[in-house]
């Protein structure tokens, strides 16, 4: 994601600023990488559906959010996470996002063993609601790909609440909400 670490006035900064459409606070409110691709819309699990949905909503070019890229895994950041995941034997995945205090646990009709049970425990431990992902956001994410590819539990955790980027002052509350979940997730599939 664009985090403000690029030098204002540099060619990279000017290029990203030119993509800031629809306009958001730049670079603070960007949800895309420096090339204007939303990294959580890059995985090969319903990527074509995500593209149709996002294009229909007007996200047809690089910008601050919701552009799926030219093809799945087109971005080096997404490809690195994908390759890293394939090189390991993870039994469960947690994809952290902000914000909403919600845990999304399902992808389409896939139901990996114990996924709902584990999700309910994560919800109890955190106080976050356990929900199915809204269709508009329910494709091409890391969680979606992990579930589809491995038939193992995966969750998108929307930590904290408010307007992104969340203030650092929420860190303590987010930590307290999530430490039990993280500990449980480490042991849940042993």
Catalytic residues: 158
Q: How far apart are CA 40 and CA 19, in angstroms?
A: 18
Task: Write the DSSP symbol of residue 130.
Answer: E
Q: Quote the tokens at residue 65.
A: 């959010």
* Contact status, residue 153 vs residue 143, Cβ threshold 8 Å: no
SS percent in the chain: helix, strand, coil, step 5: 40, 10, 50
State the Cα angle at 158 between 153 and 164, rounded to 5°.
155
Q: Three-state SS for 64?
A: coil
* Contact status, residue 24 vs residue 4, Cβ threshold 8 Å: no
* Contact status, residue 59 vs residue 32, Cβ threshold 8 Å: no
Q: How far apart are CA 50 and CA 46, in angstroms?
A: 6
């Amino acid at each position: 994601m664009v985090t403000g670490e690029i030098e204002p006035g540099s060619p990279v900064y000017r290029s990203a600023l030119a993509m800031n459409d629809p306009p958001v606070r730049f670079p603070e409110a960007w949800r895309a990488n420096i090339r204007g691709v939303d990294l959580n819309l890059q995985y090969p699990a319903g990527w074509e559906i995500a593209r149709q949905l996002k294009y229909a909503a007007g996200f047809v070019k690089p910008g601050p959010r919701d552009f799926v890229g030219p093809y799945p895994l087109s971005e080096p950041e997404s490809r690195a996470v994908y390759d890293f995941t394939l090189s390991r034997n993870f039994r469960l995945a947690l994809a952290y996002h902000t914000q909403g205090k919600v845990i999304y646990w399902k992808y389409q009709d896939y139901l990996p063993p114990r996924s709902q049970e584990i999700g309910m425990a994560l919800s109890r431990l955190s106080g976050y609601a356990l929900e199915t992902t809204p269709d508009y956001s329910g494709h091409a994410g890391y969680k979606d790909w992990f579930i589809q590819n491995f038939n193992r539990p995966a969750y998108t955790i929307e930590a904290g609440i408010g307007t992104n980027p969340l203030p650092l002052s929420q860190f303590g509350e987010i930590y307290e909400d999530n430490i039990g979940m993280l500990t449980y997730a480490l042991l849940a599939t042993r």
